Amino acid sequence: MYDLKALYEANSVQNAIELLSAHPEAKIIAGGSDVLVQMREGRLAGKELVSIFKLDELRGVSMDGDGTLRILPLTSFSHITRDPLIQAHINVLGEAVDMVGGPQIRNIGTIGGNTCNGVTSADSAATLHAYDAIMEITGPAGVRRVPIREFYISAGKVVLSHEELLTAILISKESYEGYKGHYIKYAMRNAMDIATLTCSVNVKLSADKKTIEDARIAYGVAGPVPMRTPSAEAAAKGKPVSAETIEAFGEAAKLDVNPRTSWRATKDFRLHLVGELAKRALKEAIKLNGGEA
């Protein structure tokens, strides 16, 4: 049984905002794969919940007129993996969220919940960072857009105020056109495990596939929040597709991260993974874009 004080079911985004404003201690629940676990463990015992699960207006993937991909927050992991627009333009995101939990979790868990819980190990987080995602937030004052690098404040905390909802994740055409990416999740087990480290890389190659025109890389669990590594990106941008570039990319990535020691892994081991996963992910991304690494 779950110890909750009350459950309010929103019938629109505006109604959800009104319910949150009227109940300052309430917690949003969508798929419930995180909230219900915390409630059962006692961490959210006696809480009021505002359910947004039935808001189909917040579910699905579409493309705006300017080519921007619009991913709505109640879209489940399994739907993202199978969505034709995701597969055509940022298939790496579908591959990343397909590593979340098991089939039951992927069918009920949502990408909005995965980002809004603020956890650095979230499987969607590194890839969304690597594609310069923009988070669309709606609240009493209207709609605002926040770059994902500013969305995460600290471990487990994002910029959403209590009365606000994430209403879309946006990826511009400039951020995905011509890019191919690869995601690696390193964990102690091959399935049903939280990441020890995650790494997502995407690249844009020259027409002859001999030069890296642009490279972007982001990590989860390399610090308290998901993060990009500008030093690695600079080490690859404009450089030839070569073993030397890939090696320099991996070494430079270590300059910008700050992993911690935990029961899952030591800081030194995570630093080793930072370099190794960067090289492997870059090499695979180059291959996916038609290059030979």
The CATH code that applies to domain 180-288 is: 3.30.390.50
**What tens digit of pLDDT does each residue of 164-204 get?**
999 999 999 999 999 999 999 999 877 677 899 999 999 99
Can you give the pLDDT at residue 97? Answer: 95
Q: 77 near 93, Cβ under 8 Å? A: no
CA-CA distance, 98 to 79, in Å (whole number)?
10
Mean pLDDT for the stretch of residues 8-28: 96
Q: 217 near 200, Cβ under 8 Å? A: yes
Domain spanning 61-174, CATH architecture: 2-Layer Sandwich (3.30)
Mean pLDDT for the stretch of residues 130-143: 98
Q: Is the pLDDT of residue 235 over 70?
A: yes
Give all strands (DSSP E) within 192-256, no chain letters: 197-205, 212-220, 227-228
Can you give the pLDDT at residue 93? Answer: 98
| C-alpha dist (Å) from residue 280 to 12, 188, 220, 250, 286 | 44, 18, 16, 9, 10
- Reported as a pLDDT band with limits 50, 70 and 90, residue 31 is confident
Entry pTM: 0.95
Mean pLDDT for the stretch of residues 69-96: 97
Can you give the pLDDT at residue 105? Answer: 87
Q: Domain 4-51 is in which class?
A: alpha beta
- Most distant pair of Cα atoms in the chain: their distance: 62
Q: Is the pLDDT of residue 1 over 80?
A: no
- Reported as a pLDDT band with limits 50, 70 and 90, residue 13 is very high
Q: Is the pLDDT of residue 3 over 70?
A: yes
**What tens digit of pLDDT does each residue of 112-121 get?**
999 999 999 9
Plot region of 132 (φ>0 → left; ψ -120 to 50 → alpha; else → beta): left
CA-CA distance, 132 to 175, in Å (whole number)?
7
> Average per-residue pLDDT in the chain?
94
| C-alpha dist (Å) from residue 162 to 22, 44, 92, 244 | 11, 16, 31, 48
Same fold, 61-174 and 180-288: no
| Residue ranges per structural domain of the chain | 4-51, 61-174, 180-288
